[in-house]
Amino acid sequence: MTEIASKYEAKAIEDKWYAKWMNNKCFASQPDGRKAFTIVIPPPNVTGVLHMGHMLNNTIQDVLVRRARMKGFNACWVPGTDHASIATEAKVVAKLKEEGINKQDLSREEFLAHAWDWKEKHGGIILQQLKKLGASCDWDRTRFTMEEALYESVIDVFVDLYDKGLIYRGVRMVNWDPVALTALSDEEVIFKEQNSKLYYLKYKIENSEEFVVVATTRPETILGDTAVCVHPEDERYSSLKGKRLIVPLVGRSVPVIFDEYVDREFGTGALKITPAHDVNDYNLGLKHKLDVIDIFNDNGTLNDNGGVYASMDRFDCRRKIVEDLQDAGLVFKIEDYNNKIGCSERTNAVIEPKLSLQWFVRMEKLAKPALEVVMNDTIRFHPAKFKNVYRHWMENVKDWCISRQLWWGQRIPAYYLPNREVVVAKTLEEALAKAREHFPEENYTSADLKQDEDVLDTWFSSWLWPISVFDGIRHPDNDQIRYYYPTDDLITAPEIIFFWVARMIMAGLEYRKEVPFRNVYFTGIVRDKLGRKMSKSLGNSPDPIELMDRYGADGVRMGMLLASPAGNDLPFDESYCEQGRNFSNKIWNALRLIKSWKVEHLPQPDSSRKAVEWFEAKMNATLCELEKDFSNYKLSEALMTVYKFIWDDFCSWYLEIIKPAYQSPIDSETYERTLDIFERLMKILHPFMPFVTEEIYHMIRQRKEDDFLMLSSMPCGTERDDAVLERFAFVQEFIAGVRTVRNEKNIAQKVALEVYYSNGRESGTLAEYADIISKMCNLKSFESTSEKVGGAIAKMVGTTEFFIPLTGSVDKEEETRKIEADIKYYEGFRASVMKKLSNESFVSKAPSNIVEAERKKLSDSEQKIALLKEQLAALK
RNA sequence: GGGAGUAUAGCUCAGUUGGUUUAGAGCAUCUGCCUUACAAGCAGAGGGUCAUAGGUUCGACUCCUAUUACUCCCACCA
């Protein structure tokens, strides 16, 4: 045998196998007679680099895909990236700025050329990184949400929904980002605590010298005030009915309105109303039919409605206006105040609520069936607790603002006519045809049509992802979509259950009349040891590539999975990866052991035959357990099951039993059975640790290079022999009992012991497995006895007593103490059982098998107590 | 403010419709071992009033109620 290193070195081996898998197209899938198993990747942002969240998410996907592939499914994992309009545009803008180019100086076409250029050069690094992790994606299918087919799908869907009346254009209050010059969805706004001031301003009552004090954090918005509101039952202000107030500095006369919306406890209980710049004020404005005065430009400066403040920045204006108010004696007081301010997730700019013409999708009709399929388990959520979250949102769903004032994205296919009408169509030509059809007298030409400047929300393309990657929007009957849709599992984070998961379900039902996936597995958030979310800004996220260099991709994969049941956050700690690496090494050394044996045609020892028999039974039991774990998506438990099966059952028990004495040969029968078993173990482990298992598979037996483990079939559990498992479990317990004595008495492993065991219920099993017991405990004799052995250590396992005569003297005091403690324990136990049995209602009401079990507990404990007492007596 | 979830060993988690000897695992800890596959290892051990208080039941980690602590989601007060 050639020398095999005692330490497993992952890196070279991982690179080697990934290249071989790729060269042999092991990940490729095309429709065939098998059943499909499909996963579409949650497309990472094209700007993204691999972080720990991706590692977890993609490890899980790979485990599921690899297992399905080995179970005979035609497994297809579709990779790709998302154009991420806001993030990418921000990145390109920043890069251009470094080069001294302003976005404003470029035409739309020029900017897009730069953006595509950036995408070609830097986009999709993350997909290369995923290969290091071992992701078995069908890379030939890599899709991008802005590529032609997907772009067109988005446009098709927009036109279709518009024609169905599900898309409309309306005035709405949107979250305006004055830096990015775009509207943001509610989800993209984050609220931050900020120290600010609460200004108490005097509003004169019209035709009176009295005034009302109104508290505000945004004094500059008085320029847009069109009312002051108080609570209808607020006695302080009951005299204001029918009165009007003068907005300070501005001099405008506005009505006092009464509405229960006002919190009487806050400030003075009087609220100024600026319908153009606050969502609540806007709603109140609608209700009370107030004027709307918009005072801001898009970039956050004051517009002409700002009068003398026009063209000032909003924050400069605030300072100036406060000064002016103070000079005019219109400030009652100023207090410190902490409030929460909405900021843009991307640019960090303070959000300006703004009235704007935007495109919306009507959600109500789409949401209803999408809610139903989750509630009735057509789509199963793992864990199921997210069903509640989902329901809550779907029942209160609001219309979806889909227009974004950006260039990088699918441009909205709406065309404005000189007569201010709008037509929606896939192309300019079709739009023109529609325009001519509607307004035959106008004789429009294409030059008359002006396309909407906005692009669509990124999620408006990602919601089609499971369909559009198979081109199922443009060609609903193509072979690919028919074969692969619906997909099987979606692996994603609970944070995007609404923007993405819910909307994919809606799109699936609307465009395929079928759910997009059967199962949704929600991963947790990866946190650091202190429980903080991993993030770039905190710098607490390890570099996944470096981690894989140190522990191997297999080690990191195992590390990620060990501590993350579905839906639970993962408090990441490198020691998990270390455990994974150690496991790789353990398997590696099992291989070294086996490969070091000389094989000869010898009769198979009984101990080996029994070990094989037991291990096969254990294998069946384990396979059943795994089947159950996987069907419940309990991947951590499945991995732990495999881990213990290999480390404990295979290495610590099976191999130790069959291991021949040093430099002695092994019989060929046991050897062949062992190689068989080892190969099956590698198959079972493969989905979790693809690289080390593939490597070892090829070293166990000589095989052709393209005879891949990853394409082999997963072993299936058959009926298991519980009787064997039970007997062996007792043998293990017995062996541990003897070893404990050895440990307690500090007897070296090499000193062979003499052991006698009492005749009883289990003595048959002990005789049957005598060879194994002798080997595992290093015994020189192992015999049954019908009498007590004097001057020996006596212990009990089950109901069997065993004796180890020791050459040295027995520490009577210590033994006595231990036995007395045991007696105490069993007496306590017996007491609790007796209490139950003496309870008449227990005996009469509990099922008979339970009562029977209690009786057995009682007799067992009594037998043990009796034996222990005998031992105690023998000691004295 | 509204909704949901969690609370079991030092840490991370299992514990199926209430009854399987007075709760299990991995890691960590401790003890003894450099035993010819592996110290990234071997053998063994210790460690829990199952958050608190009530209730239902013959019987509660498991079901109900309240309390406490934490987490997440939604909304948000000028």
The reply to whether A327 has its C-beta less than 7 Å from any atom of strand B is no
d(CA A738, C1' B28) / Å? 26
Average pLDDT (A404-430) is 94
What is the rounded CA–CA span in Å between residue A344 and residue A187?
A: 10
Q: How far is CA A108 from CA A148, A458, A644, A810, in A?
A: 18, 18, 60, 93
Whether residue A537 has pLDDT greater than 80: no
Contacts of residue A415, Cβ cutoff 8 Å, sequence gap at least 6: A422, A423, A424, A425, A428, A431, A435, A449, A450, A451, A452
Residue A435 CA and nucleotide B26 C1' are separated, in Å, by 69
- How far is residue A465's CA from residue A40's CA, in Å, rounded to a whole number? 8
Q: Please identify residues in chain A, positions 688-727, with a C-beta within 7 angstroms of any atom of strand B.
A: none
Which A residues between 614 and 653 have a beta carbon under 7 A from any strand B atom? 636-637, 640, 643-644, 647-648, 651-652
pLDDT grade for A309, boundaries at 50, 70 and 90: very high
pLDDT-derived band at A185 (thresholds 50, 70, 90) equals: low
Going by pLDDT thresholds of 50, 70 and 90, the confidence category of residue A35 is: very high
Lowest mean pLDDT among A106-120, A625-639, A858-872: A858-872
Determine whether the distance from the CB of A399 to the nearest atom of strand B is below 7 Å. no
Q: CB neighbours of A840 closer than 8 A, spacing ≥ 6?
A: none
Q: Considering chain A, what percentage of its residues have pLDDT values greater than 90? A: 62
CB A145 within 8 A of CB A82: yes
Tokens of A400: 């979806």
Do A586 and A615 form a contact (C-beta atoms < 8 A)?
no
Please spell the DSSP secondary structure of A759-807, one letter per residue.
-STTHHHHHHTHHHHHHHHTEEEEEEESSPPTTEEEEEETTEEEEEE-S
Our measurement of CA A400 to C1' B72, in angstroms, reads 23
Q: Which nucleotide is nearest to A216 (CA to C1')?
A: B78
Query: What 3-state class would DSSP assign to A519?
Result: strand
CA of A385 to C1' of B65 (A): 22
The residue-averaged pLDDT of A821-844 equals 86
Nucleotide nearest to A656 (CA to C1'): B37
Nearest C-alpha neighbor of A224 from the set A124, A281, A305: A305
- Determine which of A103-112, A455-464, A524-533, A851-860 has the lowest per-residue pLDDT on average: A524-533
Q: Report pLDDT digits (tens) over A436-482.
A: 999 999 999 999 999 999 999 999 999 999 999 999 999 999 999 99
Give the pLDDT confidence score for residue A1 in this predicted structure.
Answer: 43
Q: Give residue numbers, 203 to 222 of A, with CB < 7 Å from strand B.
A: 215-218
Separation between the CA of A496 and the C1’ of B7 (whole angstroms): 26
Burial A541-562, CB ≥16 within 10 A → b, else e: bbebbebbebbbbbbbbbbbbb
A593-613 burial: b if 16+ Cβ within 10 Å, else e: ebeebeeeeeebbebbbbbbe
Q: Which pLDDT band holds residue A738 (cuts at 50, 70, 90)? A: very high
How many Å does it take to go from CA A187 to C1' B6?
Answer: 25
A87 CA to B55 C1' distance (Å): 55
Residue nearest B2, CA–C1′ metric: A392
B28 C1' closest Cα residue: A575
Which nucleotide has the least CA–C1' distance to A388?
B4
Query: Considering only residues 813-842 of protein chain A, which place a Cβ less than 7 A from any atom of strand B?
Result: 825, 828-829, 831-833, 836, 839, 841-842
| Closest nucleotide C1' to the C-alpha of A264 | B77
| B12 nearest neighbour residue (CA to C1') | A563
Q: Specify the range with the lowest mean pLDDT, choosing from A128-132, A548-552, A686-690, A813-817.
A: A813-817
> How large is the ipTM?
0.95
Q: Is A377 left (phi over 0), alpha (psi -120 to 50) or beta?
A: left
3-state helix, strand, coil in chain A (%, to 5): 50, 20, 35
| A429-A430-A436 Cα angle (round to 5) | 90
- The CA–C1' separation of A531 and B10, in angstroms, is 17
The pLDDT score that the predictor gives to residue A498 is: 87
User: What are residue A255's DSSP bridge partners?
Assistant: A244
Chain A span 449-468 residues with beta carbon within 7 Å of strand B: none
pLDDT tens, residue by residue, A808-820: 656 778 788 888 8
Contacts of A8 (CB under 8 A, 6+ apart): A552, A584, A585, A587, A588, A589, A692
Q: Give the DSSP letter of residue A810.
A: P
Residue A527: CB less than 7 A from any atom in strand B: no
pLDDT for A138 beyond 60: yes
> Tell me, in Å, how far CA of A84 is from C1' of B7?
39
Q: What phi and psi values does residue A71 have, to the nearest 5 degrees?
A: -90, 10
Q: Is the CB of A494 under 7 A from strand B?
A: yes
**Nucleotides of strand B lying closer than 7 angstroms to a protein CB:** 2-6, 11-14, 19-22, 25-28, 31-33, 35-45, 57-59, 71-78
Lowest mean pLDDT among A46-60, A667-681, A807-821: A807-821
What does the pLDDT read at residue A187?
A: 59
For strand B, list residues 580-609 of chain A whose Cβ lies within 7 Å of it: 581-582, 584-586, 589-590, 592-593, 596
- A43 touches A68 (CB < 8 A): no
Name residues 8-37 of chain A with a Cβ under 7 Å from nucleic strand B. 8
Pairing relationship of beta strands A599-600 and A666-667 according to DSSP bridges: parallel
Nearest nt to the A581 alpha carbon by C1': B40
Query: In the predicted model, what is the mean pLDDT of residues A848-860?
Result: 86
Mean pLDDT of A342-367: 83
Q: Å from A161 (CA) to B74 (C1')?
A: 28
**Angstrom distance, A846 CA to B55 C1':** 21
Average pLDDT over residues A660-669: 94
Rounded to two decimals, what is the model's pTM? 0.90
Q: Picking from A205-219, A306-320, A340-354, A705-719, which range would have the lowest pLDDT averaged per residue?
A: A340-354
Q: What mean pLDDT is reported for chain A?
A: 91
Condensed to tens digits (0 to 9), the pLDDT of residues A743-752 reads: 988 888 888 9
